[in-house]
Amino acid sequence: MTRGRFIALEGGEGVGKSTQLRLLAEALRARGHGVVTTREPGGTPGAEAIRAMLLDPAGEGWGPRAEALLFAAARADHVDRLIRPALERGDWVLTDRYLDSSRAYQGGGSGLADADLLALHAIGSQGLLPDRTVLLELDPALVAARLAARDQGLSDRIGGRDAAYHARVAAAFRGFASAEPDRFAVVDADGAPEAVHARVLAALDA
């Protein structure tokens, strides 16, 4: 049986990853592919439990190192129980966030070494990388407007961090895409969802 394909949608808060994942799944199913959609942190019962711990923690929350370890643990369960089995069945797996979010948020945003985050990934998930990572980029002013309309001041613990933190995250994503052009497809996320979807499809078809 032919192995399936693994596609990750990445980017900062409010760029439209969830919408684009849904539209991409519909397009791939229309082409006859089996498709599994998922998210990080999450995707399995164990990883969803860790998601709740990460995004709505009690007390003071987690420091950067503990946060990185929890994300890596959630991803290890996600890969073992959902992603690898689906790929081995021949399905396409589409995930809303994956490893590069950890590298951008805990690395670029919080200052952990990229080598350490990659080492955690090698241990927890045997280094599994997407076949293609679609990085959605959007002007920060447009992001702020979208988030204000979407969240109404009720962001989760990570999404609610300050603008400087999110600027570091965005810069990290851009750096990864520049360093790995064969894996990344950078897509302008401005415009109607259908227009962005067309750009995503064109990037993947290419």
Q: Residue 11: inside a domain, yes or no?
A: yes
User: Quick one: which of 4, 53, 14 has its CA closest to 160?
Assistant: 14
Q: Residue 170: inside a domain, yes or no?
A: yes
What average pLDDT does this structure show over 35-45? 98
Does 142 score more than 80 pLDDT?
no
Confidence of residue 160 (pLDDT cuts 50, 70, 90): low
Sheet holding 35-39, edge to edge: 35-39, 92-96, 6-10, 132-137, 184-188
Q: Residue 186: inside a domain, yes or no?
A: yes
Q: What is the pLDDT of residue 25?
A: 98
pLDDT digits (tens, 9 = 90+) for 88-129: 999 999 999 999 999 999 999 999 999 999 999 999 999 999
Q: What is the pLDDT of residue 31?
A: 96
b vs e for 65-94, b when ≥16 Cβ sit within 10 Å of the residue's Cβ? eebbebbbbbbbbbbbebbbebbeeebbbb
Q: Residue 1: inside a domain, yes or no?
A: no
**Residue found by looking up tokens 């280094």 in the block:** 127
Domain that includes residue 125, residue range: 6-205
Q: What is the pLDDT of residue 92?
A: 98
Which residue has better confidence, 22 or 205?
22
Confidence of residue 141 (pLDDT cuts 50, 70, 90): confident
Which H or E run contains 81? none
Q: Which range has the worst mean pLDDT, 56-60, 65-69, 93-97, 124-128?
A: 56-60
What CATH number is given to the structural domain containing 144? 3.40.50.300
Q: Residue 144: inside a domain, yes or no?
A: yes
Q: Which pair of tokens denotes residue 177?
A: 């895409």
Number of folded domains in the chain? 1
Contact 75, 44 (CB under 8 A): no
What average pLDDT does this structure show over 54-78? 91
Q: What is the pLDDT of residue 60?
A: 76
Does 154 score more than 60 pLDDT?
no
What average pLDDT does this structure show over 133-152? 77
Q: Residue 45: inside a domain, yes or no?
A: yes
Cα–Cα distance for residue pair 33/20, rounded to 1 Å: 17
Whole-number percent of the chain with pLDDT over 90: 79
What average pLDDT does this structure show over 15-44? 97
